[in-house]
Amino acid sequence: MWSALLKTLARGGPEEVPVVLAQAVVDQPGVDAVTLLRASPPEWEVLAAVGKTAPIELAAEALDAGRPCVQGEWSAAPLAGGVEVLLVRPAIEAGDLANLADLVGSCLAAGARLKSLQGKAERSATLLDLSRQWRLSDDLGQLLQSMADAACRLFDSDRASIFLWDSKSATLVGRPAIGIESGELRVPDSAGVVGEVLATGEPRRVSPGNDAHTIDHSIDAKTGYRTESLLAVPLQTASGEKLGVFELINKQSAPGFSLADQEGLLEFAEHASAVLAATQEFESLLERQELYVQEQASAIQLVGECPAIQALRSTVQRVADTDLSVLILGENGCGKEVVARLLHYNSKRRSAPFVAVNCAAIAETLLESELFGHEQGAFTDARETRAGKFELADGGALLLDEIGDMSLGGQAKLLRALEERKVVRVGGSVEIPVNVRVLAATNQDLAKLVREKRFREDLYFRLNVVTLELPPLRQRGDDLMLLADNFLRQFCRAAGRKKPVWTAEAKKLMAAHRWPGNVRELRNMMERLAYLSTGDKIESDDLAFIAAPNSGGDSLLDLGLPLGQATEEFQRRYIAQAIDQTRGNISQAAKLLGVFRTNLYRKMGSLGMEGHDAQE
Ligand SMILES: Nc1ncnc2c1ncn2[C@@H]1O[C@H](COP(=O)(O)OP(=O)(O)OP(=O)(O)O)[C@@H](O)[C@H]1O
């Protein structure tokens, strides 16, 4: 008997152990029938049987009593684990039966251990292999399919679904979902067995004779599939965060899933959870980034219907999705940055950053470090290594605003970076490759600057592959009131008031104004109007007050501002007035105010005025 058993174990066939054992027992002198049963309430699983059929109720009696029992010509003894019973015919003496049961029990346990070890080794090898492949995947759909296929293979299951928990909508999203057109099955997170597993964090096994009524057949109705048995285990991270439920449906080789399957699937789910947690994080990052990009893109508005703006809009559409360099020309405040953003957010680079640098606002000595970055200690103020705007814009677009104000030295360095598509940080030696679409903007006549040798011709041609020209606001006809209404609506909404209507007089004043500061000036004026005017009509008086900001000086006293704030407000107005007077020319405004241009930009930045660097 035992040599056959040992051979069986050595051959590595633990499934055959119960059969070999039964045969060995029946080979004993005088024994003519034997049955080995395992209790799997409310059923009994027949592990092996030779000869006549044994009375099941005797097995139950022996298991309950925990000792050998006799009924007619059969005797039964429980095995060590308390779930299996050995039944022998004819009945043998209680002591002999107990010894036999000991032996059979030990052999069965050894066989089961071997089986579980074999299964574990096989699963671990497969899991290791799969985990490696899974970690390389960044496509959640493919990953779930691969996990489901692997689980079906390993646990001999007909189908597998991974239900990911969407806590916000209290939904479990099952994928893959065969038979569902969208490939995705959505159920409330409290529904059926999967809902229970999610809530309790405990595995569940359901087979035809065991809790079959708990199967939610409404899901079958959706998939057109009949669930007979299922095994569901929780998916959760090592720190206990719930991710969802892993479900196997319909064991193929048996009426239901076993305890060993359950243990195996728990181990499988542990690996799957680790990979899923990383992938989901990645996916949600991507989704958040896409949402952010969409928000940014939809916030860009190029309002205007005049022929010049319409033509410009159509050119933007044509060139946006190319990598062509674009030079945007136009007076101060007429929307050059808006056009640059429009180009970027309509290109395939839209998920990468849009970085704007105001070349006029940066002192020549700092321009190189601003554009290309610097290494720690490269100069006195370089306390730490910093990436430049080119590196920050990698993959996206860099707007070089006020390019006409760049020094010849700065132009030479910029040209080199554009030609070589590499930058070297100040104080560094490593060449850093950069992939940036360059957009440039200026309010100056660059061609004239080239003729006067104040702007490099080679750089001019490099930047000027496509030119977009924005007309000043005073040449845009009806767009003036279209823009005015648009801004006024926005600011009134923010101020929580109804948009006032224009009187004919006020409209006339608007049309007569020259708008030296272009759309920016108009926007600022509409903001002041929304917050400072009262009444439901805009009279010409309202505009006279608003168009001359310095005339409102007395109102500061009325507002009762603290001295610091009042001083700041005065500076804001005084600078705005200088810029208005020079028709938006910052260099001239700086002269008028007796400060360096870069200092004026810095001051404007600290006062929260428009016109300094932007980066996103
Ligand atoms: N067509 C437009 N539709 C809506 N808003 C606009 C339009 N043109 C300009 N603006 C708004 O006017 C302000 C100034 O625009 P922008 O900064 O693009 O001008 P700019 O020409 O780049 O100015 P600068 O010459 O000072 O760099 C911004 O608040 C911008 O949103």
How far does the centroid of ligand 1 lie from the alpha carbon of residue 479, in Å?
14
Ramachandran region, residue 45 (left: φ > 0; alpha: ψ -120 to 50; beta: rest): beta
Cβ burial, residue 534 (10 Å; 0-12/13-18/19+)? exposed
Question: What CATH number does the domain containing 496 carry?
Answer: 1.10.8.60
Residue 455 near residue 449 (C-beta atoms within 8 A): yes
Q: Are residues 467 and 502 in the same domain?
A: no
- Determine which helix (DSSP H) or strand (DSSP E) holds 32, and give its type and residue range: none
Beta pairing, strands 537-538 & 230-236: unpaired
Residue 302 lies in a domain: no
pLDDT of residue 531 exceeding 90, the answer is no
Q: Are residues 466 and 491 in the same domain?
A: no
Q: Which ligand 1 atom is nearest residue 339's CA?
A: 18
How far does the centroid of ligand 1 lie from the alpha carbon of residue 546, in Å?
20
With a pLDDT cut of 70, the percent of the chain lying above it is 89
pLDDT of residue 1 exceeding 60, the answer is no
Q: Are residues 83 and 208 in the same domain?
A: no
Using CA atoms, how far apart are residues 322 and 240, in angstroms rounded to an integer? 47
pLDDT at 574: 86
Cross-strand partners of 75: 70, 88
Q: Are residues 387 and 435 in the same domain?
A: yes
How far does the centroid of ligand 1 lie from the alpha carbon of residue 521, in Å?
9
Return phi, psi of residue 70, to 5°.
Answer: -125, 140
Question: Which of 202-206, 417-421, 529-533, 606-610 is the least confident region?
Answer: 606-610
Residue 598 lies in a domain: yes
* CB contact burial 376-406 (16+ within 10 A = b; e otherwise): eebeeebeeebebbbbbbbebbbbbbbbbbb
Instruction: Report the nearest-CA residue for atom 25 of ligand 1.
Output: 332
For the chain, the domain total comes to 4
Ramachandran region, residue 515 (left: φ > 0; alpha: ψ -120 to 50; beta: rest): left
How far does the centroid of ligand 1 lie from the alpha carbon of residue 519, in Å?
6
- What does the angle CA 605 – CA 609 – CA 614 come to, to the nearest 5 degrees? 60
Q: Are residues 452 and 478 in the same domain?
A: no
Question: Which of 33-42, 136-145, 577-586 is the least confident region?
Answer: 136-145
Q: Are residues 441 and 537 in the same domain?
A: no
Q: What confidence tens digit (pLDDT) does each residue in 93-129 have?
A: 888 888 888 888 888 888 777 777 777 777 777 777 7
pLDDT grade for 80, boundaries at 50, 70 and 90? confident
What are the DSSP E strand ranges found in 201-279? 204-206, 230-236, 242-251
**Sequential DSSP letters for 408-438:** HHHHHHHHHHHHHTEEE-BT---EEE---EE
| Highest-confidence segment of 106-110, 152-156, 212-216, 283-287 | 152-156
Residue 423 near residue 432 (C-beta atoms within 8 A): yes
Question: What CATH number does the domain containing 32 carry?
Answer: 3.30.450.40
pLDDT of residue 288 exceeding 80, the answer is no
Question: What CATH number does the domain containing 382 carry?
Answer: 3.40.50.300
Residue 586 lies in a domain: yes
Residue 128 lies in a domain: no
Cis? peptide before 433, omega within 30° of 0 = no
- Domain stops at, among 286, 319, 335: 286
CA distance between the termini of the chain: 79
pLDDT grade for 551, boundaries at 50, 70 and 90? very low
Instruction: Report the nearest-CA residue for atom 15 of ligand 1.
Output: 335
| Highest-confidence segment of 12-21, 220-229, 569-578, 605-614 | 569-578
Q: What confidence tens digit (pLDDT) does each residue in 473-526 have?
A: 999 999 999 999 999 999 999 989 999 999 999 999 899 888 888 999 999 899
Q: Which ligand 1 atom is nearest residue 584's CA?
A: 26
**Sequential DSSP letters for 355-403:** EEEEGGGS-HHHHHHHHHEE-TTSSTT--S-EE-HHHHTTTSEEEEETG
Q: Are residues 393 and 517 in the same domain?
A: no
CA 510 remoteness from chain centre: 47
Using CA atoms, how far apart are residues 434 and 398, in angstroms rounded to an integer? 11
Residue 108 near residue 84 (C-beta atoms within 8 A): yes
Q: Are residues 464 and 479 in the same domain?
A: no
pLDDT at 550: 42
Read off the tokens for 528.
């002041």
Read off the tokens for 579.
């810029």
Helical packing angle, 518-532 and 540-547, nearest 10°: 120
Residue 487 lies in a domain: yes
**Sequential DSSP letters for 509-560:** HHHHS--TTHHHHHHHHHHHHHHH--SSEE-HHHHHHHH-GGGGTHHHHHHT
Q: Are residues 80 and 153 in the same domain?
A: no
pLDDT grade for 615, boundaries at 50, 70 and 90? very low
Instruction: Report the nearest-CA residue for atom 10 of ligand 1.
Output: 335
pLDDT of residue 388 exceeding 50, the answer is yes
pLDDT at 29: 83
pLDDT of residue 560 exceeding 70, the answer is no
Enumerate the H helices of 163-258 as residue ranges: 192-200, 217-223
Q: Which ligand 1 atom is nearest residue 334's CA?
A: 21
pLDDT of residue 183 exceeding 70, the answer is no
pLDDT at 454: 93
Q: What confidence tens digit (pLDDT) does each residue in 197-238 have?
A: 999 999 999 887 666 666 666 666 666 677 888 999 999 988
Residue 130 lies in a domain: no
How far does the centroid of ligand 1 lie from the alpha carbon of residue 309, in Å?
13
Instruction: Report the nearest-CA residue for atom 29 of ligand 1.
Output: 520
- Domain stops at, among 426, 451, 471: 471
pLDDT grade for 334, boundaries at 50, 70 and 90? very high
* CB contact burial 242-255 (16+ within 10 A = b; e otherwise): bbbbbbbbbbeeee
Q: What confidence tens digit (pLDDT) does each residue in 7-47 have?
A: 665 565 667 888 888 888 888 888 899 999 998 877 888 99
Which one is predicted more confidently, 543 or 317?
317
Read off the tokens for 494.
């923010």
Nearest to 213 by CA among 201, 197, 198, 230: 230
- Determine which helix (DSSP H) or strand (DSSP E) holds 137, and give its type and residue range: none
Nearest to 186 by CA among 206, 211, 161: 161
At position 570, the amino acid (one-letter code) is F
pLDDT at 142: 81
pLDDT at 577: 84
Ligand 1 mutation pick, 302, 303, 337, 615, max ligand atoms within 8 A of CB: 337
pLDDT grade for 612, boundaries at 50, 70 and 90? very low
Question: Which of 140-149, 190-199, 389-398, 492-501 is the least confident region?
Answer: 140-149
- Domain span at residue 346? 307-471
How far does the centroid of ligand 1 lie from the alpha carbon of residue 142, in Å?
45
Q: Are residues 327 and 444 in the same domain?
A: yes
How far does the centroid of ligand 1 lie from the alpha carbon of residue 443, in Å?
12
Sorted by sequence, the CB contacts under 8 Å of residue 390 that are 6+ apart come out as: 371, 372, 373, 398, 417, 423, 434, 436
- Domain stops at, among 419, 441, 471: 471
pLDDT at 247: 93
Question: Which of 268-272, 296-300, 545-549, 551-555 is the least confident region?
Answer: 551-555
pLDDT of residue 549 exceeding 60, the answer is no
Which one is predicted more confidently, 1 or 252?
252
Q: Which ligand 1 atom is nearest residue 523's CA?
A: 12
Q: Are residues 277 and 345 in the same domain?
A: no
Read off the tokens for 199.
């809530």
Q: Which ligand 1 atom is nearest residue 611's CA?
A: 26
Quote ipTM for the complex: 0.98
Q: Are residues 101 and 195 in the same domain?
A: no
Cross-strand partners of 46: 37
Using CA atoms, how far apart are residues 485 and 457, in angstroms rounded to an integer? 42
pLDDT at 556: 45
Average model confidence (pLDDT) across the chain: 85
pLDDT at 554: 40
Residue 522 near residue 515 (C-beta atoms within 8 A): yes
How far does the centroid of ligand 1 lie from the alpha carbon of residue 597, in Å?
20
Residue 84 near residue 47 (C-beta atoms within 8 A): yes
Sorted by sequence, the CB contacts under 8 Å of residue 20 that are 6+ apart come out as: 4, 5, 8
pLDDT at 383: 83
Length of the chain: 616
pLDDT grade for 330, boundaries at 50, 70 and 90? very high
Residues with CB under 6 A from ligand 1: 301-304, 330, 332-338, 401, 441, 443, 483, 519-520, 523, 611
Sorted by sequence, the CB contacts under 8 Å of residue 6 that are 6+ apart come out as: none
Instruction: Report the nearest-CA residue for atom 12 of ligand 1.
Output: 520
pLDDT of residue 552 exceeding 70, the answer is no
How far does the centroid of ligand 1 lie from the alpha carbon of residue 585, in Å?
15
